[in-house]
Structure 1
């Protein structure tokens, strides 16, 4: 039985690349011995140079801004961003190394197309069928240090999907998809080096990785599958700004554990006198939700009739509560005033209660933001505050628990509408 092996070496003799150079011809001249089945690893910098992706160094920050479509994380001057190519990396890939003084390089506009052009050129010049990978240097979440990865590819199976197979012990492989193109890029980096002036490498002996139709764009994880799409502070801001009042939900059930995680976030809110004024009643069964909402509806109808409202007007108002009735999960935040100070003075006692109300609101806001972070929609509806006695009776709550509305929770039935822009300066007074 033969043992798998391969060779990798750097290509010597590559000249300094200038805008407009034909990279395929330069490679063919430096490596005329290329064979079909080889994989060519080309540093993105020389591709960028050949394609004229050069800007003045004093425009670097502007270039980063221009190449950025989304800021993922920011720490001081360092920015991790998603760039125009869909890659998440530092400074959008704008690079000041291995370029003439006073200039910086942008990444190739379409690295997959660049790889395909080099491959086609080598086929014409040398009559060989090789794979081509355009590489760039990346940092990685969870890991120190840098490594080369594939940002462009042609003629290479960039991913090796092993799902559905078994390992050496017969265990099923259910999640194993190997990033073959990235592994090849890293292998080439071992011989190219960062400062050796050797921008091209060849891997031989792995002809099985060649194949048409794949591109490096397939290595970019889709947003829906990316659990680490934002940095920590950015994720907090995202959850705050993306929180919406959701009034229509799908029938998909809500994970009770997700709601409890949101409660854990809620009870970190500030409160007076080191108290804990929050209580959350979680209505996880349809029976509990229906009993509460039916009792609240009956109490509301009775109040409206006492106010002289017409039956048509009452029906319209009752329909406004459908957001609660249609939600697959309800939470009733309550305020308790354990630990409140009793001053025996009307103004001070009223201020004390206000402090507890504010603290409860802070807890509910934490709760709503945490639900958004769990990708759950919510609507905080104040109706329980108008019939607290009814709510306490139906839910069998202590007399000193004040229901502070109800929160409808579920998976949004449609994407949220764009939020109306609010300029912060309209809400700020500086003294």
Structure 2
């Protein structure tokens, strides 16, 4: 639609009066048609999800809103006090799962439509039957947004509308290629409608005219608003801080089989940065991490360790079959595309000349080094890297120091195999935290 006397692009948006209070079982298309909205082909209707929920009977008795949120929640994304950001049954990430206690009778709450795309399609088809018009329909709801104050309406359901405008492959006004530009058209429509609908004015439906190009062409499969939900694999902000830490801890599993995919050295260095935040005695830094990034360095170390291990086992009188079986246990290190050898350094430790206190002093440093390695493993899990912490280097420390040219006061604390897991880990047997607690 153009402005008067010009070719300047323009559109018009207005709210539809006369909808009235919506009851369970109402036909929203008929209610909208009854207002004599004057719709024409190419218009887009923006319908507040609240009246869709009411018409679909999504009002439930709930004196405890938190219980209703629990029932609609698939995954908690972040929690701060009583506020929860969750993924709900519709796949939407939002506050309180979209459960709404406003504009509904006391003791009840409104749930979001079960299938907002299907709801939008029903309204669209109903208006076609009632008024003979081809319009787009967007079902909207109010969202907060990360990093931005304030609320706005976004699309949670759509029919007949191209919800995303993919500009990738085109060029800007300077001829620069567009490689990442996908416009959330349906969200822009939703926010435009919210400016005239308001939150408490009793105007739950708006019309946009002049943007017919956002409607799908006859026979075109436009999809719905579900296409706007970012899939988990592409979501860089899937969790809140404390939830991310807990997930990383749960992902920290010993991986025995790795793919050949190379490991990003930057990811390992970020994990080391997390490792060296561990607590340590006397303000010391008892951790060192030797990164074996080349295949040659890994092979040279593992071959030397294997030879030393075989010699030890033969001195112990083990059979060749037993030795071969034990050596095979180290294959996880040989198969991994990246190795890290964490080392303990006791520089800064106190020496008391008393065996009991000197033993305790060393144990303090060993505990601190272990805390650093745990931080390292958890941080690797946060990078979606699998790991296996194997103790083998502790049994041939001199060999490891010689091959890697390490100082004599560096004590290897095993080796960590790092890489992408070749398959899903086995289910971990559940552990009841209460079994590990003693309360006094």
Q: TM-score range with shorter-chain normalisation?
A: over 0.9
Q: Which residue is 1:346 aligned to? A: 355
Which segment is superposed worse, 97-106 or 406-415?
97-106
Q: 2:247 aligned with 1:238, yes or no? A: yes
The 8 Å contact of residues 32 and 126 in structure 1, kept in 2 or not, is answered as no
Post-superposition Cα deviations, 1:242-268, rounded to whole Å, max 9, x if no partner, equal: 111011111111111110010000000
Q: Which residue is 1:222 aligned to? A: 231
Q: Which of 136, 148, 151 is equivalent to 2:141?
A: 136
Which segment is superposed worse, 297-306 or 48-57?
48-57
Q: 2:331 aligned with 1:322, yes or no? A: yes
Post-superposition Cα deviations, 1:319-339, rounded to whole Å, max 9, x if no partner, equal: 110100000000000000011
Q: Distance in 2 between matches of 1:197 and 1:325?
A: 68
Q: Distance in 2 between matches of 1:141 and 1:412?
A: 32
Q: Which runs of 5+ in 2 are unaligned?
A: 1-5
Q: Which of 102, 123, 138 is equivalent to 1:97?
A: 102
Q: 1:213 deviation in Å?
A: 3.0
Task: State the secondary structure of the residue aligned to 1:359.
Answer: helix
Q: Which of 42, 61, 74 is equivalent to 1:37?
A: 42
Q: 1:61 deviation in Å?
A: 1.4
Q: 2:266 aligned with 1:261, yes or no? A: no
The 8 Å contact of residues 246 and 412 in structure 1, kept in 2 or not, is answered as yes
Could you say what the CA RMSD is over the residues aligned between the two structures, in angstroms?
A: 0.8
The 8 Å contact of residues 111 and 134 in structure 1, kept in 2 or not, is answered as yes
Q: 1:104 deviation in Å?
A: 1.1
Q: Distance in 2 between matches of 1:76 and 1:408?
A: 39
Post-superposition Cα deviations, 1:149-193, rounded to whole Å, max 9, x if no partner, equal: 000000000000000000011000000000000000000000001
The 8 Å contact of residues 163 and 222 in structure 2, kept in 1 or not, is answered as no
Q: 1:59 deviation in Å?
A: 3.3
The 8 Å contact of residues 161 and 176 in structure 1, kept in 2 or not, is answered as yes
Q: Which residue is 2:3 aligned to? A: none
Q: Distance in 2 between matches of 1:413 and 1:46?
A: 48
Q: How many residues align?
A: 431
Q: Which runs of 5+ in 1 are unaligned?
A: none
Q: 1:369 deviation in Å?
A: 0.3
Q: Which of 305, 313, 335 is equivalent to 2:344?
A: 335
Q: Which residue is 1:74 aligned to? A: 79
Which segment is superposed worse, 24-33 or 406-415?
24-33
Q: Which residue is 1:13 aligned to? A: 18
Q: Which residue is 1:399 aligned to? A: 408
TM-score (norm 1): 0.99
Q: 2:188 aligned with 1:183, yes or no? A: yes
TM-score (norm 2): 0.97
Which segment is superposed worse, 342-351 or 204-213?
204-213
Q: Which residue is 1:107 aligned to? A: 112
Q: Which residue is 2:435 aligned to? A: 426
Post-superposition Cα deviations, 1:56-92, rounded to whole Å, max 9, x if no partner, equal: 2403211111100000000000110000000000000
Q: Which residue is 1:127 aligned to? A: 132
Q: 2:283 aligned with 1:274, yes or no? A: yes
Q: Distance in 2 between matches of 1:138 and 1:419?
A: 37
Task: State the secondary structure of the residue aligned to 1:168.
Answer: coil
Task: State the secondary structure of the residue aligned to 1:58.
Answer: coil
Q: Cα distance 1:31–1:295, how it changes in 2: closer, same or farther (>3 A)?
A: farther
Q: Distance in 2 between matches of 1:108 and 1:306?
A: 72
Task: State the secondary structure of the residue aligned to 2:138.
Answer: strand
Q: 1:32 deviation in Å?
A: 3.6
Q: Which residue is 1:416 aligned to? A: 425
The 8 Å contact of residues 11 and 31 in structure 1, kept in 2 or not, is answered as no
Task: State the secondary structure of the residue aligned to 2:261.
Answer: coil
Q: Distance in 2 between matches of 1:57 and 1:303?
A: 69
Q: 1:214 deviation in Å?
A: 1.4
The 8 Å contact of residues 72 and 81 in structure 1, kept in 2 or not, is answered as yes
Q: 1:417 deviation in Å?
A: 2.0
Q: 1:240 deviation in Å?
A: 0.8
Extract structure 1 runs of 4+ deviating beyond 2 A. Answer: none
